[in-house]
Amino acid sequence: MTRHTSSGSDVRAWLGLLVVLGPVLLVSMDGSILFLAMPGIGRALAPGADQALWILDVYGFAVGSLLIAFGNIGDRYGRRRLLMTGAVLFGAGSAAAAFAPTAELLIAARAVMGIAGATLLPSALAVLSELFTDPRQRARAIGVFAAAFAAGFAIGPVIGGLLLEHFWWGSVFLVNLPVIALFLSFAPRLLGEVRATRPGRVDLASVVTSAAGLLLTVYGVKRTAAEGLTGPAALAVPAGVAVLAWFVLRQRHLDHPLIDFTLFRDRVFTIAVITGLLPLAAWSAAAYLAGVYLQSVLGVPVLTAALLALPGAVVLTVSCVVTPALVDRVGRRTALLVCHFSVAAGLLLLLPTTATGGTGWYVASTAVAGLGYGISFAVVADTAVGAVPPERAGSAGAIAETGNEIGNALGIALLGSLAALLFRLRGPGLAPTLDETLRLPGLTGPTAEDARSAFVTGMHGAAAVAALLHLVLGLVARRRLPRPAGNGGRWT
């Protein structure tokens, strides 16, 4: 009888994990699925330069800025309840985005999806603790969870390309609805409610100031890149920085802060969190710019562009799966160093691309950098949590996850803005983006070629800066991370 009960419980747990992976895949996939859809959205909705960037990254900012807050809310009111509510909201936002008639409404729908995504991620991970009570099985389940999250980021552009080959741009959002419907049908039967006895209330002022500070700062950077240092941009950046500074100071005086900044006193924790943020920033910016490069510069069909992204997606997913086993042999320090140096090498492989050719360099770039991206997904959270005392592991894990999401959004916002700035400085000056320039009536061949070359220059600049940042962080990690005392990746 005991054996039968245990077997039934195991089946329920793994079926529950399978159900939870649906929303997890959607949240991560929707951070990247638009990369190949942007040229089509540009033709249909004609967004401006800053609007195009907001369409891409308002989702990541909404997820990242609210992730910790919704983690606290889920602890207080129930993880399954929040998971179900978030799934309904995610489905509604997806439907609204698919049929948005203007760029402004598409941005608003993407923001709603981001808010919903912030409810799904921490709740899905917490529900696993109720499903898997055995520590060894729970570790395996969390590994599957992390691999699915990484795979979602990697396959987003591929699935987007396959859909866009046959349907209109809104199909990349409608694909979410069947997954949400299946989740809502099976989750109540397979998932139990989870609450935690976390002290204190969520500090609303911290939630508002963290989100407002990020959005003001990024808005100013984008406006500066697209239009120059105008009045609103000149005010937005210092205002955003001031709000973020006030947010940090406020956390120091709260009994239960939204982000425990004292954790950053540990150098291993700090390097781990930056390792979660920077590769995601590089990956998102490179994937977005490369999608435009393949389609608008080289004229590659969208399905071909999706297939060209497949080798990098495979390398990323496989490296995420096998990294934990390799870390047992070589240690976390070596894994983090390989992460940064392989991402840097991959980004530098984009520099030989030209306005007339470079698909081979692009494939090589995604494959080499994919190794580093996969390592980042696999080891960052574990390294961050392992660097702090057990009673602070929850805060450490939440900060690591937030760093991933903020990195995904910052890459497009900051590195994308750098590429836009270089295009504005080097291009023909007829429109702020390549796609807008190519749509101008009466555009001559030489002018179009100048615009394409200027875009490639912008892509090269963003890739070079991201590669340099990874090289620097790799050298810092090599110097500052302690060497392991023995096998297993433990720190001395």
pLDDT at 122: 65
pLDDT at 93: 93
Average pLDDT over residues 344-361: 94
Average pLDDT over residues 343-368: 94
Residue 150 sits at the vertex; the CA angle it makes with 475 and 110, to the nearest 5 degrees, is 110
Domain map of the chain by residue range?
Answer: 9-199, 203-257, 262-492
**Between 244 and 255, residue with greater pLDDT:** 244
Average pLDDT over residues 437-447: 83
Does pLDDT of 1 surpass 50?
Answer: no
Among the residue ranges 345-359, 378-392, 458-472, the one predicted with the least confidence is 378-392
Mean pLDDT across the chain: 80
Q: Could you read off the pLDDT of 211-251 as tens digits, one per residue? A: 788 778 877 777 776 666 666 777 888 888 899 899 889 88
CB-based contact 257:206 (threshold 8 Å)? yes
Residue 358 sits at the vertex; the CA angle it makes with 353 and 362, to the nearest 5 degrees, is 90
We find that the CATH architecture of domain 9-199 is Up-down Bundle (1.20)
pLDDT at 116: 87
Give dist(CA 135, CA 139) in Å, integer.
Answer: 6
Residue 320 sits at the vertex; the CA angle it makes with 214 and 338, to the nearest 5 degrees, is 80
Average pLDDT over residues 88-94: 91
Among 140-144, 290-294, 403-407, top mean pLDDT goes to: 290-294
**Same fold for the domain at 9-199 and the one at 262-492?**
yes
pLDDT at 80: 76
What is the token pair recorded at 335?
């894994």
pLDDT at 148: 76
Nearest to 405 by CA among 21, 17, 70, 117: 117
Does pLDDT of 473 surpass 60?
Answer: yes
**Between 169 and 321, residue with greater pLDDT:** 169
Does pLDDT of 368 surpass 90?
Answer: yes
- Domain 262-492 sits in CATH at 1.20.1250.20
CB-based contact 54:226 (threshold 8 Å)? no
**CA torsion through residues 298, 293, 26, 124, sign:** positive
Q: Could you read off the pLDDT of 391-430 as tens digits, one per residue? A: 566 566 667 767 776 777 677 778 888 898 899 888 888 8
pLDDT band at 149 (very low <50, low <70, confident <90, very high): confident
Give dist(CA 215, CA 410) in Å, integer.
Answer: 10
What is the token pair recorded at 242?
């001031």
Question: Packing angle between helix 445-480 and helix 267-292, nearest 10 degrees?
Answer: 170
Does pLDDT of 443 surpass 50?
Answer: yes
pLDDT at 407: 77
Torsion of CA 216, 120, 116, 152, to 10 degrees: 80
